[in-house]
Chains A and B, each alone.
Chain A
Amino acid sequence: MTLRAIDYQAVLALIQSLMQEAKVVAPHQREGERQWSFEEVTEPANVCLEYTSTVLPPKKYAFPTQERFLRYELGESPKAEPIIEAEPLVLFGVHTCDIYALNCLDIAMTDEHVDPNWVARRKQMRIVGVDCLPDEYCFCASMGTATVHEGYDLFLTPVDGGYVVEVATEAGEEMLTNIPTKEATSAQVAQVKAHLNKKMQQEHKLDCDVSTLPLHFSGVADSELWEQHAERCYSCGTCNLVCPTCICYDVLEQLNLALDGGERVRVWDSCMLEEFATVATGENFREERSQRLRHRFFRKYSYLFTRYGQPYCCGCGRCVRQCLVHIDPVPILNDVIAESQKGATVRGA
């Protein structure tokens, strides 16, 4: 790992030089609100590197909200061919939680079967991370995602006079070729540590070590806590749709007007939606909101955690930030932990 120092002007120059060779996307402030989104950079100065969280995660560049993946012709002898669209892309200014989430999805998207569209996009993606300062909804410190060790080429941490940049890959090295950088001073390196320490001080936190989370889920399936927390839930799916670690999707047909061909597209879906698990006979395997809320939590913190060995939540807090009825994973998880500890005492007694 090499650490260098780079000033703000050089960051702009870096973005500018990246724009010469690839599409660069980065956080931008939205509509004068305290809301941000990843958008294509047209003017480096408009990039906003000090931001809390974007509405949608940068996942949308590896897995678009709506993605065509099959083209077909109808008629005498119907034909179908895959559509795999990918282009060189730089994700600039990605937080650790979102980098973690992309790494997570790499596993899920390639487990047993390799999703061709995901992989094609990820192969052409370079990532420049940037460190953040969390708001009251973030719980990355608890989730172990306040730092991330892979999945980026460069990583910037704000320090006095600019950023300390960690060069993580050869591609990262190349990006800096013509950019003026200096050796990071020890004071600057200390600032990086201080920054991280500060980031770790989160009020919003779990009452257990993240690695033990799946254990706590073993006895809470029948708990009333799901109904309590789901009472105000709209089942609107917002939480899933803004989540960087969700990948569920639905498939739609888009016929052309002449009805002689068309495309198949996939769109982001959500397991909180009522019909997600409904089958043709009308049976809904998760009819109640509380069952769907329970499934969402089990999937993130138990099923996929056990399946892939890491939580499918990066602690970014997007779900609660966007949820109008403030359904927040942290208190729910803490209820789960409390319940399971209570159960353990009861069983032990």
Chain B
Amino acid sequence: MKPRVAVFSFTGCEGCSLAILECENELLGVLNLVDIVRWREAMSETTEDIDIALVDGSISTHAGVKRIKKIREMSKLVIAIGACAHTGGLNAMKNKYGMGEVKEVVYGPDGAEFDTIPARPVSAVVPVEFALPGCPIDREEFLRAIKELCMGKMPKLPNYPVCVECKRKENVCVFFKGQFCMGPVIRAGCGAICPSFGEGCEGCRGFIDNPNKNAHQEVLAEFGLTAQEVMNHFSMFNSYKESEV
């Protein structure tokens, strides 16, 4: 029996579910392994009998909280895909403003009605079995996870930093080119794609389990960033804090 897979989107750019459709060369192979049974962005069919729910986006409304709980109930495995679902992602940057303030300032008096709560990762609302990090998810990592799930193996994320993959690719470290990088404290798995294309890592995959944040703050400062810029580097994808929600 092929696993029945559904894709759901919450607050985000839907790039992660789109990234699944961007596995053009492999899509037919994936369809041989799994049955896609529900996916609003791509199909009109629907069902409540789901083995694997792939969820992108962060939870940022009361309605979203209800919906993800329902999805949890109807799915055997819930897998968060992408930074928004995994860490809250970029969306959590709004959390530093009070929600009343954001609505008021942004929508004016008409905005009071809109449903918005601080953005949070899926795991902050319901248990998730696994998260595929990245903004967007990495195609290879996604395919590997699908294959492993179909083999009955729980995928495992690397717990080492991006520098490892960056070195294996023999990139010139972007610090030596006058740029800045979060690679030393961020979880690998992306193939160090940013440094490979001349950009510093922005931290979209979240921190490794034991990052040496102090050392990294010192390094960023040593290479010339101001305190505010250092903070911005740390907060771009990783500003969600449980305490703020």
**A interface, CB within 8 angstroms of B:** 30-31, 33, 35, 37, 55-56, 60, 65-66, 231-238, 241-242, 255, 257-259, 267-268, 270, 273-275, 289, 322, 324-325
Contact = CB atoms under 8 A, between A and B. Distances in A.
Interface residues on B, range: 35 or more
Given A255-B147, A257-B26, A258-B29, A55 B160 contact: no
B160 A237 contact: yes
Nearest to B150: A259
Contact of A236 (B29, B30, B164, B176): B164
B160 to A, nearest CB: 5
A275 B159 contact: yes
B26 A232 contact: no
Given A267-B168, A268-B168, A274-B210, A234 B177 contact: no
B129 interface: no
A258 B30 CA distance: 8
A255 B151 contact: yes
Contacts of B172: 30-31, 33, 35, 55
Chain A's interface: helix, strand, loop or mixed, by majority?
A: loop
B32 A258 contact: yes
Contacts of A289: 212
B33 interface: yes
A270 B164 contact: yes
Given A55-B172, A257-B33, A234 B185 contact: yes
B58 to A, nearest CB: 28
B173 interface: yes
Nearest to B32: A258
The 4 closest A-B pairs by CB, nearest first: A257-B29, A241-B167, A236-B163, A65-B168
Contact of B164 (A55, A241, A257): A241
Interface stretch (B68-76, B88-96, B98-106, B215-223): B215-223
B118 interface: no
Contact of B167 (A232, A238, A275): A238
A33 B177 contact: yes
Given A232-B218, A274-B209, A275-B159, A66 B167 contact: no
A255 B163 CA distance: 25
Nearest to A254: B144
B208 interface: yes
B177 A236 contact: no
A236 B151 contact: no
B161 interface: yes
A236 B164 CA distance: 7
B170 interface: yes
A234 B160 contact: no
A322 B147 contact: no
A131 B210 CA distance: 42
B97 interface: no
Contacts of B32: 257-258
Contacts of A60: 170
Contacts of B183: 236
6 contacts: A234-B185, A241-B163, A241-B168, A267-B168, A274-B209, A324-B184
Nearest to B173: A322
